[in-house]
Amino acid sequence: MFESRKSPKIAAGAVLLFAAAPASAEDGYRLWLRYDPVEAAQLTGYAARATEIVVDAHGPTAEAAASELKRGLSGLLGTTIFSRPGVDRDGAIVLALARTAGLGTEGFRIRTKHLNGHRVTLISANSERGLLYGSFALLRRIQTRRPLDNFNLRDRPALPIRMLDHWDNPDGFVERGYAGRSLWDWQSLPGRIDPRYVDYARANASIGINGTVLNNVNAKAEMLTAAYLLKVKALADVFRPWGIRVYLSARFSAPIELGHLKTADPLDPAVRAWWRSKTTEIYRLIPDFGGFLVKANSEGQPGPQDYHRTHADGANMLAAALRPYGGVALWRAFVYSSSGEDRAKQAYDEFRPLDGKFASNVILQVKNGPIDFQPREPFHPLFGAMPATRMAMEAQITKEYLGFNTHLAYLGSMWEEVLKSRTFRPRPASRVSDTIGAMAGVANTGRDRNWSGSDFDQANWYAFGRLAWDPSLKARSIAEEWTRMTWGNDSRIVAAVVPIMMTSRDDVVNYMTPLGLAHLMGTGHHYGPAPWVSDQARPEWNPTYYHRADATGIGFDRTATGSNALAQYAPEAARRFDDFYVSALDYLLWFHHVRWDQRVHSGRTLWDELVTRYDWGVQGVQAMRTDWRSLKGLVDDQRFAAVSANLAAQEREARWWRDACLAYFQSVSHRPLPPGHAPPEHPLAYYQALRFPNAPGQPH
Ligand code: BDP
């Protein structure tokens, strides 16, 4: 477990041991922090000769930084690393607090420098946290074989809040979790501290995550009881040295459930007093508690509207309780009702009028797109539309709608696409990344040995953290970094793995929901295709609501002739989406209802284009399998086999998606498949009869 080898001698022995070790040796537990020895020929630069670290800072976070450097360097360089009070030889790694303009409280600088007549690598920062992030950055540099001589690196996070949201329940179940039960063993906390909590914190710190919401947004009030707060405190104490603050999802009606009040009305003095005293109780235990996350009046959760109050009234009440302690209230904008209004419009309609009404320590947490974490959505129209409100972008790392933990889908490309989308407001040059101050990722972690349910799902955790640190990073360079750290630096590995990752998300879009389609997944569990479902009580619970396929065409008209959701975007952005020939047709059916026989950009009819895209999706997975096979012998057998098995399942499921969707759409369009495209393997009724009552992650 993250152990590094102490000396070259031991390293050689360890390799032998690993070779004969039981099957758990390459189980993915070490994530991207493997710290395996660097090939001698690739060691250049003074830092590569490091045998000592000198820490000119005191405190638990500086200690964490030093311990990670020791662990990492001794593994990578195969030497024993000593801590020393002063520099006495070349190659030392020096951690020093030094007031430096422009680095803020989390930034760092790393450079090679002469100190006491010796050539050293100096990591400097204004804070211990900066030293921690700088230490991980240096290790990453070695792990990815970047030059270590004469470099001068300055970096600081673009967003102050970079957090994971766990949808974990007190009973250990993880909603939409595909990596086993919750990491938090509430039963044994606070008494027993699983060493895994530290490894979780290290992994997060290595990518700059600085906050974690421990429990599900569909929150149970019991998380706020004194007994649970002691457990939360125990975790907060473990995470603190690693720069991570703990937050809790708060159930809005907790004053009734726990405080036995008659109401949870946010303007009621007794309710306000209850939240104040609960907040004080929390800060007494956890002085750096981050704040509350709230899902209110959404999917059956209680909220201020139960008392005819607004979301701002609710959020501001919690913000007032948190303000004396520096905490924030993260208020989710994920709301929709059965009102009959286009679901894609509802959050904007609800929240936009509240701009300017939220307290300054409220952050509105908005999903990346206007519906719900679909394989592809246009950006949420609230980004840039509420200039007087602090905003967070919420992304889903766990792949509820992108194939659970079996399908290989690298989400870095999806988030890059959203973050760089031009909102054209509040300024003409604005992009989504300019309109947010925080990013929250719904975690994909669980108690599986590999943490995320599959080896490649680790990349999504990694990419989320890196993008939250710097939203201008390119998904491709993140994929390369991760590949080098996770699979190896061999150029053949990098050349095969990175392209697999970069095309993977588009493959999923193509075999699930091409051309701007959305929410065709099986209702409830969201496993597999079910575009035919139309019998759910609320209109927007039915896939047919989203695709609107009929004998003449398919797609949701969100232009002025339809729901006019387009009008929620700045005119320049709306014009782009409105353009029938939207680039690469990515959003076509999101915004338009299009005739089956209409010719689209490619020159094909829409029907032929749809069939073609479904086939591309399946072919893409086949290509991934072929490329992956080329890595046999280049990556370890254990992980090679695990990925191979997943890819085989993905190919089967991609075909299933393609066949089921085409069988259904054909039953509506009554059109023949274009030449060269195989008919679905089974009749439509076969797919419609499939049932998955035990699909994982379903709320219960
Ligand atoms: C949906 C999930 C549901 C979550 C909800 C949310 O299916 O389990 O509770 O999002 O974000 O996508 O609140």
Question: Per residue in 26-74, pLDDT tens?
Answer: 999 999 999 999 987 676 676 677 889 999 999 999 999 999 999 999 9
Gap between the Cα atoms of 418 and 573, Å rounded: 13
Instruction: Report which secondary-structure segment, H or E, holds 414.
Output: helix 412-419
Confidence of residue 1 (pLDDT cuts 50, 70, 90): very low
What is the pLDDT, as a whole number, of residue 9? 35
Question: To test ligand 1's pocket by mutation, which of 169, 298, 299 has the most ligand atoms within 8 angstroms of CB?
Answer: 299
Confidence of residue 323 (pLDDT cuts 50, 70, 90): very high
**What does residue 628 show for φ and ψ, rounded to 5 degrees?**
-65, -40
Dig out the tokens for 434 from the structure.
């300019």
- Is the pLDDT reported for residue 7 higher than 90? no
Question: To test ligand 1's pocket by mutation, which of 174, 175, 297, 367 has the most ligand atoms within 8 angstroms of CB?
Answer: 175
> Closest ligand 1 atom to the C-alpha of 699?
8
Asked if 372 is an active-site residue, the reply is yes
Question: To test ligand 1's pocket by mutation, which of 400, 444, 526 has the most ligand atoms within 8 angstroms of CB?
Answer: 400
* Of residues 648 and 39, more confidently modeled: 648
* Of residues 447 and 48, more confidently modeled: 447
Asked if 90 is an active-site residue, the reply is no
CB 302, CB 296: distance < 8 Å: yes
Which one of 128, 168, 199, 372 is the catalytic residue? 372
CA of 484 to the centre of ligand 1 (A): 33
CA of 365 to the centre of ligand 1 (A): 14
| Summary mean pLDDT of the chain | 94
CA of 183 to the centre of ligand 1 (A): 20
Dig out the tokens for 187 from the structure.
């039963």
> Closest ligand 1 atom to the C-alpha of 394?
11
Whether the bond into 426 is cis, omega within 30 of 0: yes
- Is the pLDDT reported for residue 21 higher than 60? no
pTM of the predicted model as reported, rounded to 2 decimal places: 0.96
What is the pLDDT, as a whole number, of residue 3? 35
CB 65, CB 132: distance < 8 Å: yes
Share of the chain above pLDDT 70, in %: 95
- Computed from CA positions of residues 405, 409, 411, 414, in that sequence, does the dihedral angle turn out positive or negative? negative
Whether the bond into 674 is cis, omega within 30 of 0: no
What is the pLDDT, as a whole number, of residue 582? 64
CA of 668 to the centre of ligand 1 (A): 30
Gap between the Cα atoms of 530 and 403, Å rounded: 14
What is the pLDDT, as a whole number, of residue 22? 43
CA of 542 to the centre of ligand 1 (A): 15
Dig out the tokens for 393 from the structure.
């972008």
> Closest ligand 1 atom to the C-alpha of 401?
12
- Is the pLDDT reported for residue 652 higher than 70? yes
Which one of 400, 540, 615, 651 is the catalytic residue? 400
The predicted-structure confidence for 251-293, as pLDDT tens digits, reads as follows: 999 999 999 999 999 999 999 999 999 999 999 999 999 999 9
Reference 378, options 412, 426, 345; nearest CA is 345
- Is the pLDDT reported for residue 20 higher than 50? no
> Closest ligand 1 atom to the C-alpha of 372?
12
The predicted-structure confidence for 505-523, as pLDDT tens digits, reads as follows: 999 999 999 999 999 999 9
Residues in contact with 80: Cβ distance below 8 Å, sequence separation at least 6, in sequence order: 6, 7, 51, 74
* Of residues 364 and 12, more confidently modeled: 364
Coil, helix or strand at residue 84: strand
CA of 698 to the centre of ligand 1 (A): 10
Residue nearest to ligand 1 atom 11, measured at CA: 334
- 208-to-212, 483, 587, 656 alpha-carbon distances in Å: 12, 18, 32, 39
- Is the pLDDT reported for residue 83 higher than 80? yes
Q: Residue range 169-182: average pLDDT?
A: 98
Instruction: Report which secondary-structure segment, H or E, holds 121.
Output: strand 118-125
Q: Residue range 563-573: average pLDDT?
A: 97
Ligand 1 pocket residues where CB is under 6 Å = 175-176, 217-218, 295, 299, 334, 372-373, 400, 699
What is the pLDDT, as a whole number, of residue 17? 37
Residue with tokens 């060691």: 43
Confidence of residue 150 (pLDDT cuts 50, 70, 90): confident
> Closest ligand 1 atom to the C-alpha of 367?
11
Q: Residue range 178-203: average pLDDT?
A: 98
Residue nearest to ligand 1 atom 12, measured at CA: 372
- Is the pLDDT reported for residue 557 higher than 90? yes
CB 112, CB 153: distance < 8 Å: no
What is the pLDDT, as a whole number, of residue 338? 86
Q: What domains lie within the chain, and their CATH numbers?
A: 40-155 (3.30.379.10), 161-486 (3.20.20.80), 510-556+593-688 (3.90.1330.10)
- 195-to-18, 25, 187, 239, 310 alpha-carbon distances in Å: 22, 18, 16, 12, 43
CB 437, CB 397: distance < 8 Å: no
CA of 333 to the centre of ligand 1 (A): 12
Share of the chain above pLDDT 90, in %: 90
- Is the pLDDT reported for residue 14 higher than 60? no
Q: Residue range 469-473: average pLDDT?
A: 98
CA of 505 to the centre of ligand 1 (A): 21
Residue with tokens 């689209």: 600
Confidence of residue 147 (pLDDT cuts 50, 70, 90): confident
CA angle, residues 454, 696, 627, in degrees to nearest 5 = 30
**Alpha helices, DSSP H, located in 538-605:** 543-547, 571-578, 588-591
Residue nearest to ligand 1 atom 2, measured at CA: 176
Instruction: Report which secondary-structure segment, H or E, holds 247.
Output: strand 245-249
What is the pLDDT, as a whole number, of residue 48? 72
CA of 441 to the centre of ligand 1 (A): 13
Which range has the worst mean pLDDT, 14-18, 518-522, 601-605?
Answer: 14-18
Confidence of residue 24 (pLDDT cuts 50, 70, 90): low
Residue nearest to ligand 1 atom 10, measured at CA: 372
CB 195, CB 183: distance < 8 Å: no
CA of 670 to the centre of ligand 1 (A): 35
> Closest ligand 1 atom to the C-alpha of 697?
8
> Closest ligand 1 atom to the C-alpha of 218?
9
Gap between the Cα atoms of 46 and 658, Å rounded: 55
Reference 290, options 356, 258, 225, 245; nearest CA is 245
- Is the pLDDT reported for residue 4 higher than 70? no
> Closest ligand 1 atom to the C-alpha of 176?
8
Which range has the worst mean pLDDT, 77-81, 105-109, 612-616?
Answer: 77-81
Asked if 400 is an active-site residue, the reply is yes
Gap between the Cα atoms of 239 and 289, Å rounded: 11
Residue nearest to ligand 1 atom 1, measured at CA: 372
CB 351, CB 334: distance < 8 Å: no
Confidence of residue 202 (pLDDT cuts 50, 70, 90): very high
What is the pLDDT, as a whole number, of residue 295? 98
Q: Residue range 415-434: average pLDDT?
A: 98
| Amino acid found at 54 | V
What is the pLDDT, as a whole number, of residue 379? 98
CA of 412 to the centre of ligand 1 (A): 21
Residues in contact with 336: Cβ distance below 8 Å, sequence separation at least 6, in sequence order: 298, 343, 346, 347, 540
Which one of 3, 39, 171, 299 is the catalytic residue? 299
The predicted-structure confidence for 362-421, as pLDDT tens digits, reads as follows: 999 999 999 999 999 999 999 999 999 999 999 999 999 999 999 999 999 999 999 999
- Is the pLDDT reported for residue 135 higher than 80? yes
CA angle, residues 437, 441, 446, in degrees to nearest 5 = 150
- Is the pLDDT reported for residue 2 higher than 50? no
Gap between the Cα atoms of 650 and 659, Å rounded: 14
